[in-house]
Amino acid sequence: MLSTQAHPGYCNGGFDGLHPPSDDDDMVDIAGATLDFSSTDDVPPLRVYEEHQSRAGANGTGPGSLMDPLEDPVPGLGTYEDFNTIDWVREKSKDRDRHREITKNSRRSTAALLHSISDAFSGWLLMLLVGLMAGALAGGIDIAAHWLTDMKEGICLDGFWFSHEHCCWKSSETTFKDRDRCPQWQTWGELITGTSEGAFSYILNYLIYIVWALFFAFLAVTLVRAFAPYACGSGIPEIKTILSGFIIRGYLGKWTLITKTVTLVLAVSSGLSLGKEGPLVHVACCCANILCHLFTKYRKNEAKRREVLSAAAAVGVSVAFGAPIGGVLFSLEEVSYYFPLKTLWRSFFAALVAAFTLRSINPFGNSRLVLFYVEFHAPWHLVELVPFIFLGIFGGLWGALFIKANIAWCRIRKTTRLGRYPIVEVLAVTAVTALVAYPNSYTRMSGAELISELFNDCSLLDSSQLCGYLQVGQTGIGNSLADRPAGPGLFTALWQLALALLFKMLITVVTFGMKVPSGLFIPSMAVGAIAGRLLGVGMEQLAYYNHDGLIFKGWCTPEADCITPGLYAMVGAAACLGGVTRMTVSLVVIMFELTGGLEYIVPLMAAAMTSKWVADAFGREGIYEAHIRLNGYPFLEPKEEFEHSSLAVDVMRPRRSDPPLAVLTQDSMTVGGVESTRYSGFPVVVSQESPRLVGFVLRRDLLISIDNARKRQDGVVGASLVVFSEHPPAQAPDGPPPLRLRGIMDLSPFTVTDHTPMDITVDIFRKLGLRQCLVTHNGRLLGIITKKDILKHMAQIANRDPDSILFN
């Protein structure tokens, strides 16, 4: 039980006791008991540490130098423990101190001036590096995934390291029509039996396909288990939590990066119903975190580092879709917590650098920036908003249903024995996926290919099954793209698509959350795109056969191109992605960047809005928030308003029946008394009789300082007085000298009055990024509210288990 409490169940499986590898990219993890402001119900929540000893001794060498902003003379002071929340105000204040110091020094010497300039530009340099690294990695992942995916089906005779496409590029014999049939590329069946025809060859291909898929999946899950348990899942829920101020050491470290990059390629290649877009955000954030270590400014400051990580999230989406503006808005809307304007501008820069790096690697082989490039020829008609809104409803329903089903499945995994066999689970799902997917060409192809094909507008030369229309009339220029009746090819495609839709909807529920890297963007979009294309083709045929009917009259003539099924696929994809993630503006902008025309923004927006509203009616959480809650992370949702009318006094600790608050007095505590405390932070008051607030001190800082004082200074014993006041009390001649620790005390703790409504308190926590806040009544200290208390209170209001919030 304890290990589940100490570490979340990554990827929502029952966590099996694996500890994440300690990652030296991150700060030194100081061993210490897990400290907790609040309490479980069986332990009294807050104890009073009363100490009334009046031994004193003058000591002038108090840790005044502790306040030096540029260096930590006492190592570890001001750092955080794993699985704890940072104090944004303190971090930002620290950075401002540092900056002030540099500015002040810069007037003194040329070297300091240069240092100041390089400091000012280090943010931009870092962004450049993040963009380059993430772009290059994304390109590498694309190329490798293509190669391995093709490997499942066959091999290039010119060299096994060529993908199908590369192999056939080299072939000089290929004409436009035979692009897929170049002699250098042979399926496994062809290679072994010598012929591509026949049932035997087919079955051989089928079997080898399954074997490869199982092999890739096995490799992926084993690598994740062996090297970086954090590498599984999409990573976005955790990144959201980290950006909100939580610390998960190693989550963005170099082992995670390497493992995630490799296993992502394997997972995608195994043919599972998952995408690489979400994990690319994690990869980009790992890059950013690692590169942060090159710059003191970002290495030493958790708040500054989170600015860079916000930008990295934008970079991730930018390289995933080739949509830099959409990426920035995604980071702003969906992932980030603290997003100042400076970060907006830098994110945009990094996203562009990454997009252009990716383009120069050119993994799609078409020098296009975007993942799905679409160009539609026909405008849309106002009447079509009805089917678009219908797609929005479908997307919303599917999103809500998917979230409920996936969370239920993850809960089963977490609570039953299933969670103990992640490898078996992955192999089973892979086997089922491969078995079912192979016979249907729409499930066999990768998600991205499928979406591309569904978005595509049929031209006359298109040989795809989806464009299997009957040719009627003259094929002049005027009506080359006109509506045509469906032919047998299209009918085959339609029922295959319907089966694919059903299969994708089911398999994605069990796939997302397994112990392999898995993104949700592509599977959701695929579901929506299939539904949209089906509806689009339906509408098209309806229009073709009823072009004089009531609704089509006036805009659909027999020779005109009035319905674009590809547009329906795109709208459907947006609707489903919106339903699952509840993205809004960023979704529409990403889609807009794919088409490059404002023309289709209105259909996309109509669908995205409907989808969000419908899905919100079933529960306001998107998939990422749902997974955050499932894992018990301390995440204070910035989007939701706190609706309840409770006051600060109702939420604070101690509660009415509890013993009074554990406080330290400013000049009457001994070292021994302080060391025996249990809570992770204490308000310091004038005296027990007059509980007026002086400051706030963290137990971690206190212990580190006392340890340090013991090493550096003689005479620090258990009976030494710990003094927080400005002027030490009158000295007793026989006692040990007092230990002056005013320097480590936060002299400006946040306070609210007991009558402050909780909505205002929650707002203050959110906007300022607080860890805790003290409650006063008429100037007297009354209690304390931590972020965890607020989250527990919110859980209670929503009739959820308050103990599901695991961390501070």
Is residue 642 at the binding interface for its own copies, with CB under 8 A as the rule?
yes
State which residue, 74 or 325, has the beta carbon closest to its own copies: 325
Residue 369 as a binder of its own copies (CB under 8 A): the answer is yes
93 near its own copies, judged by CB under 8 A = yes
CB closer to its own copies out of 537 and 697: 697
Alpha-carbon gap, residue 421 to 238, rounded angstroms: 23
Instruction: Say whether residue 601 binds its own copies (CB under 8 A).
Output: yes
The piece of 252-260, 388-396, 467-475, 690-698 that touches its own copies (CB under 8 A) is 690-698
Contact status: 645 vs its own copies (CB under 8 A): yes
Shortest CB 766 distance to its own copies, Å: 9
From the CB of residue 254, how many other CB atoms can be counted at a distance below 10 Å? Answer: 18
**Binding of its own copies by 307 (CB under 8 A):** no
Q: Quick one: how many helices (H) and strands (E) in the chain?
A: 28, 11
In the list 348, 380, 455, 635, the residue contacting its own copies (rule: CB under 8 A) is 348
Rounding to the nearest 10 degrees, give the CA dihedral for residues 318, 321, 324, 326: -110
Contact indicator for 771, 786 with CB cutoff of 8 Å: yes
- Site mask, its own copies, residues 747-786, x = CB under 8 A? xxx-xxx-xxx-xx--xx--xx-------x-xxxx-----
Segment 697 to 756, residues that bind its own copies, using CB under 8 A? 747-749, 751-753, 755-756
Instruction: Choose the binding region for its own copies from 143-151, 190-198, 290-298, 599-607 (rule: CB under 8 A).
Output: 599-607
753 Cβ contact list (under 8 Å, min separation 6): 648, 775, 776, 777
In the complex, the smallest distance separating the C-beta of residue 147 from its own copies, rounded to whole angstroms, is 27
Among 30, 383, 445, 585, binds its own copies (CB under 8 A): 585
Q: Which pairs count as long-range contacts for 140-146, CB under 8 Å and 24+ apart, including other chains?
A: 140/261, 140/361, 141/261, 141/264, 141/265, 141/276, 141/280, 141/283, 142/358, 142/361, 142/363, 142/364, 143/361, 143/363, 144/265, 144/269, 145/264, 145/265, 145/268, 145/269, 145/276, 145/446, 146/363
Q: Which is nearer to its own copies, 458 or 784 (CB)?
A: 784
- Specify the amino acid at residue 52: H
User: Which pairing describes strands 772-777 and 780-786: parallel, antiparallel, or unpaired?
Assistant: antiparallel
356 binds its own copies (CB under 8 A): yes
Q: Does 372 engage in binding with its own copies (CB under 8 A)? A: no
Site string for its own copies, 122-151 (x = CB under 8 A): ------------------------------
> Is residue 589 involved in binding its own copies (CB under 8 A)?
yes
Burial annotation 334-343 (CB, 10 A radius, 16+ → b, else e): bbbbbbeeeb
Name 161's Cβ contacts closer than 8 Å, sequence gap at least 6.
Answer: 147
| Tokens standing for residue 279 | 């994990």
**Can you tell me which residue has the tokens 């607020």?**
790
Stretch that binds its own copies, among 53-61, 390-398, 529-537, 685-693 (CB under 8 A): 685-693
Cα four-point dihedral sign 302, 305, 311, 314: negative
DSSP, collapsed to helix, strand or coil, labels residue 789 as helix
Residue of 19, 52, 100, 411 interacting with its own copies (CB under 8 A): 100
End-to-end CA distance of the chain: 18
Contacting residue, 262, 352, 706, 790, with its own copies by CB under 8 A: 352
CB of 673 to its own copies, least distance (A): 22
Length of the chain: 808
Among 32, 597, 659, 718, binds its own copies (CB under 8 A): 597
Rounded to an integer, what distance in angstroms lies between the CA atom of residue 308 and that of residue 317? Answer: 15
Positions touching its own copies (CB under 8 A) are: 89, 92-93, 96-97, 99-100, 103, 324-325, 328, 332-333, 340-342, 344-345, 348-349, 352, 355-356, 369, 584-585, 588-589, 592-593, 596-598, 601-602, 605, 609, 638-639, 641-645, 648, 686, 692-695, 747-749, 751-753, 755-757, 759-760, 763-764, 767-768, 776, 778-781
